[in-house]
């Protein structure tokens, strides 16, 4: 998945990165074919290269040190609203054939399970030039209809 994520990033693109696998994909893309890609993080950090040390959260000191800018949530979300983000990475619990994504709640096991929610996912799915979903490829995650639409896909 990291290699596939990296291939979605083109040189000179502005990328809403996020954490875990998208972060690795961003680093691989910069190292191989997109040396001028710029990464945005939801907490306001803007980087023109991956952090030099491993980070566990967006706000870890290695992610702040060497950043182009450390703004705020509203600043980076406004870049989405201005149409200045080329690609955004998001994760999810369920997806349907239209690309609707659920990160809010499921009831597949008979009881209601609450999930982390949208975070910035709905904004990214709605406003980024392209959206790339990274999630585990388990049959239960691919549904004819998601239990709840947190982030909209493409309507017919």
pLDDT tens digits, residue range 33-90?
A: 999 999 999 999 999 988 888 888 888 888 899 999 999 999 999 999 999 999 999 9
42 is catalytic: yes
Catalytic annotation, pick one of 42, 52, 94, 136: 42
pLDDT band at 156 (very low <50, low <70, confident <90, very high): low
Give the global pTM: 0.88
Provide mean pLDDT across the span 109-133: 89
> Which residue do the tokens 């074919």 mark?
33
Q: Which CATH architecture has domain 2-92+121-141?
A: 3-Layer(aba) Sandwich (3.40)
Nearest Cα to Cα of residue 95 among 129, 131, 127? 131
pLDDT band at 119 (very low <50, low <70, confident <90, very high): confident
pLDDT tens digits, residue range 41-56?
A: 999 999 998 888 888 8
Residue 111 CA to residue 92 CA, distance in Å, equals 19
The whole-chain average pLDDT of the chain stands at 91
pLDDT at 110 over 80: no
């Amino acid at each position: 998945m990291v290699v596939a994520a990296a291939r979605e990033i083109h040189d000179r693109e502005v990328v809403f990165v996020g954490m875990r696998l998208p972060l690795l994909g961003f680093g691989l893309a910069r190292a191989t074919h997109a040396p001028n890609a710029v990464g945005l993080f939801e907490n306001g950090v803007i980087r023109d290269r991956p952090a030099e040390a491993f980070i566990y959260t967006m706000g870890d000191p290695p992610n702040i040190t060497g950043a182009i800018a450390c703004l705020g949530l509203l600043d980076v979300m406004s870049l989405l609203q201005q149409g200045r983000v080329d690609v955004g990475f998001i994760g999810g619990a369920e997806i349907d054939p239209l690309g609707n994504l659920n990160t809010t709640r499921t009831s597949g096991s008979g009881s209601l399970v609450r999930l982390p929610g949208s975070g910035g996912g709905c904004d990214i799915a709605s406003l980024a030039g392209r959206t790339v979903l990274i999630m585990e490829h388990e049959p239960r995650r691919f549904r004819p209809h998601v239990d709840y639409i947190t982030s909209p896909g493409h309507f017919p």
